[in-house]
Structure formats: structure tokens, C-alpha cells
Amino acid sequence: MRNAATILHLDMDAFYASVEQASKPSLRGKAVIVGGLGPRGVVATASYEARVFGVRSAMPMAQARRLAPHAAYLVPRFGMYKAISEQVMALLHSLSPLVEPLSLDEAFVDLEAGEAAWDDASARLVGEKLRVDIRAGTGLTGSVGLAASKMVAKIASEEAKPDGLVLIEPGTERALLGPMSVRTLPGVGPATGDHLRRAGISTVDEIAEAGEDELVRLLGKAHGHALYAMALAHDDRPVVAERETKSVSVEDTYDVDIHDRLRVGLEVQRLADRCVRRLRDAGLSGRTIVLKVRRYDFSTLTRSETLRGPTDDLAVVREAAARLLDTVDTTGGVRLLGVGVSGLADYTQEDLFAQAAGEGTAMPAEEPADEPAPVEAAPAERRWRPGHDVRHGEFGHGWVQGSGLGRVTVRFETPGSEPGRVRTFRSDDPHLEPADPLPLVAQGPGTTFAEVS
């Protein structure tokens, strides 16, 4: 471990919900919950106002509605979240070449590698400057943890929430971690935490006191050794700038179980199409096609087929996924389907059409002309998703508050306006159309950092 707190961990505060509050003045200071709104939806992010009611990420949406019935429930706008994430990541990359993103809203930065900081004082200055620049550029807040290791920096950012900075000086880690719950340590989930509690171990100090041999006996060799090292605050993992992509996959969960075998097959083909688009967008190909099926009883089956060489050919992936589906019994109903490609490479094997079922006939690389058009392309299927942006010819920019029974309710406001008025229209109103999100701040940020001295 290093002798200065020059590993930074940034965690944006309630990211998805904060973006929605920043773009919708009427939701600021109110409970906002973002996630899937169907019967099987889960919470992606809850604002801090919603967390007061006990709502948490990954909670079933039905449970969230019982806890916070008056909250605003919105469908995610991933395109906007990604655009804002790219702004934030650009700020991090201006600090160091070693930036390790963990998700859209979270990353480690090695400040020493970029010579942005060399001791605790300079690291603190950089951390505070980063928070100011994020707020100026995006209108959002992020919490910063600074420490001599990745594990402790992440714990520090959690302690800093919301909208704060915590620096843990090297040499003080053991004293800080000691009284904390075992659940504070990475990799200790509910099951492991309960197992340790039954053994009389509930704090990090008690892990260290139990000793490595006892932890190995309780948890197994690999987990026991790792947990003992973490309890002693030993973490030498470097910040890794790029993680190798191991697979590309897509999956959908259905509000109602699918029993029709024909529809299951069509869904698998649609997922294969999306998966291939992602492959091509990333400039990748793969050798192994994977099918995932979660059945009505929550049992999950995976099937895979390995080709002779890597491909990004739509027909090959489609046919492989269809063959895999033939091996799965879906009689009782299907609640989730997924298609993935692994064994990735940055090149393709051109002559792979013979691997498809119709050997000897080249399969078309693109979607057949008689394939049904995607739902979103059909003009008769105008779906107004809560939280998504719209524009009206007379009233301007707004967002969907709700829809149903042939009506759509829109609140007309922008990030820089006062809370706007609500109006209801017919869902097929020709003057109402989907719109792109507006920037959260009027002008872009200065994305360079002043030299720390």
C-alpha cells in the first residue's frame, strides 16, 4: 500500500434520480424512484427523499410503491445518463490516465499516475476541485473518497454521502474499520454476513480477532483469506484503466409469463438482433453463443454453443440461438430471456455461414425483409413512458407524468424554468411528439483542472 491517500473513488449521488430531479424542477426535493414500472420491475435508483421511506435500489417496484405511494415513478432515460456519465468521466481522465470505471456513476482514479497529487493535502485539493467541476458541468453532486487503497477509498466515499469528501489518512485504516459492520467489506453480502453473525462475528475487529484459520474454516480458503486481509486493511489492487470485455449480452424480463412457443422464438430472434448490434457497435465478434432462460418457477437455464471462429454475423447468431432454444422446455412459461456472445475477438471469420443450420446457403447478414418491424417503429404504437421527454407544438418542451385510457398527461417545464403546468392530451395528439432531453446546465463546463501546487 502507498503512503498517501492518492487513490480517489467517485460515486455520484443517487445518480439516475438526481438527473431526473435536475431536469424536472417540479421534482426537486421530492421522492423520486427510477426503474421498471411493470409488475416485475425493480428500483434502479431512489432519491434521498425516497430513501427516508425505506426504498432502496434493487427492491421490487411493488414494494417501493407500498412504502412510498406518493413518490414520482419514472422509467430510466439511459441515453441521457450515459451522456452525463461521459462528461464526468472526461473530468476524471483529465486527472490521470488510470481511471477505472465501475459503472456509469462510479470510478476509481490513481492520482499519482497523473501527477495530480502526491500527498494527502494535494489529494484533498484535487478531490474538492473535482466536486466543484462536476456540479458546474452537470448540475449534479458526487461524493469523493480518498485513501491509500481502493477498498478504503470506496468505503470513504460511502461515508462522505451525500455531496461530501472523506480522506482517510494512511495508517488509520484499522482504527476506522474496526467498529464497522462486517457488511462494510466488499464481498460480504447478506448470506455471508448472517453466517459470520451466527459464528459470533459482527464487526471488522471481530473478523481480525477470529484469525485467518477460523475464517477459512467458516468460509472456505479463497474467501477466508481475502476477508482476513480486508479486515487488516490490506489491499494492493492497482487501478486498472481498461477492463477486458468478456461478453456482450442482452436480456428482457416480461411482465407476464410467455407461454406461446412461437412468441418465445420471436423474442429470442429479437434479442439476437440487439446482441449483434452491440457487438458491431463495439467492433467485436465472438465464438460462443449463449442462451439464458428463466422459467415460471424462477429456475434459470443457460445453454451455449461454440462456433469454429468468431463472428458478428446476424444469421449465424440467430440460428445458433434458435438451436439452443430447441433444447429448452418452456411449457410452463418464460419470465426472462437473454442472448449473449462470449469468447470475444476484434476480428471476424468471414466464411462462417456454413455453421448455420442451412449449410451450403449463405445467410443474409441483415434482417429479412418479411421480419415484423420493431414495436417502437410502428406508428400506431405510440407509448408515452413516464419521465420521458416530449415536445408540443404550442406548449413547448415537457415530460410525461403518466398515460393510459387514450390520454397522456404532460408537465411543461425545462431544467432552467420554474415548476411547470400540467396538461392532458389525447395519446394520438398530432402536436405531441417525443423529444431529446435538454442539457441540465445552460453552458458546458470548463473541463480542465487547474494545476495543483
Ramachandran quadrant class, 171 (left: phi over 0; alpha: psi -120 to 50; beta: rest): left
Phi and psi torsions of 38, nearest 5°? -75, 175
Using an 8 Å Cβ cutoff, are 147 and 168 in contact?
yes
Cell of 280: 458491431
Tell me, what amino acid is at 62?
A
Using an 8 Å Cβ cutoff, are 410 and 404 in contact?
no
For β-strands 165-167 and 142-147, DSSP reports them as parallel
Number of helical H runs and strand E runs in the chain: 13, 17
Task: Return the beta strands (E) in 353-415 as ranges.
Answer: 389-392, 396-404, 407-412
Q: Could you give the CA distance from residue 194 to residue 263 in angstroms, rounded to a whole number?
A: 42
Closest-CA residue to 199 (of 182, 179, 223)? 182
Residue in the block written with cell 415537457? 398
**Angle of CA points 82, 86, 92, to nearest 5°:** 140
Using an 8 Å Cβ cutoff, are 423 and 412 in contact?
yes
- DSSP letter at 42 equals B
Q: Could you give the CA distance from residue 160 to residue 151 in angstroms, rounded to a whole number?
A: 15
b/e burial code for range 233-254 (CB count within 10 A of at least 16 → b):
bebeeebeeeeeeeebebeeeb
Given the residues 49, 100, 106, 173, the one annotated as active site? 106
Q: Could you give the CA distance from residue 8 to residue 111 in angstroms, rounded to a whole number?
A: 7
Sheet hosting strand 32-35, strand order edge to edge = 43-46, 32-35, 72-74
Catalytic (active site) residue 86: no
**Which residues make Cβ contacts (< 8 Å) with residue 90, sequence separation at least 6?**
447
Collapsed DSSP state (helix, strand, coil) of residue 409: strand
Closest-CA residue to 105 (of 165, 44, 166, 155)? 44
Q: Could you give the CA distance from residue 193 to residue 57 in angstroms, rounded to a whole number?
A: 19
**Which residues make Cβ contacts (< 8 Å) with residue 211, sequence separation at least 6?**
228
Active site (catalytic) residues: 106
